[in-house]
Amino acid sequence: MIDYFAANLWQMWALVAIVCLILELTNGDFFIMCFSIGAVCAAVSSALGLGFYGGLLVFAVCSVLCIFFVRPFALRYLHRNDDARVSNADALIGRIGRVSEPVEAGGYGRIAIDGDDWKAVSADGQAIPLNAKVKVIGRESIIITVETVD
């Protein structure tokens, strides 16, 4: 089996490239992608007849060059609007939901938004009936502030 891998070293590098691409999907910061590009370069060099240590050198050099030259460009190009992008609970502001448990006057209720149920309070302190449509206008910790929508 070792003879097979020695004769087909490019397949090992291709496998390393695929594994790195899969790992990059879990991360998304384009760091592991550089190792995938290095593994592709090593696979090509191994297919052209370069041995294991030569492929390892090509992998290391290409990966380091990619980290210093390709990664900053990719981050700058693909994450241009990250400052304007909201995430997690802040993304709820402006969304429309349905009252799943009536909001009591001056108290709390529950609002369903895309299958998630949130504790909510009325913006004006008025009661909101069951199944009413509401819009999220604010958030304090895990409690959202809503107002009715006509």
- Tally of helices (H runs) and strands (E runs) in the chain: 5, 5
pLDDT tens-digit series, residues 38-70: 999 999 999 998 888 999 999 999 999 999 998
Low-confidence ranges of the chain (pLDDT < 50): none
pTM over 0.85: no
pLDDT reported for residue 70? 86
pLDDT reported for residue 45? 94
Do 138 and 118 contact (CB within 8 A), yes or no? Answer: no
Q: What are phi and psi of 72, to 5 degrees?
A: -60, -40
Q: Integer distance in angstroms from the first to the last C-alpha of the chain?
A: 71
Closest CA to 35 of 48, 18, 50, 51: 18
| Domains assigned to the chain | 2-78 (no CATH), 88-148 (2.40.50.140)
Residue spans of beta strands (DSSP E) within the chain: 96-101, 108-113, 116-122, 133-140, 143-148
Do 130 and 99 contact (CB within 8 A), yes or no? Answer: yes
pLDDT reported for residue 43? 94
CA dist 71 and 79 (Å) reads: 11
**Average pLDDT of the chain to the nearest whole number:** 87
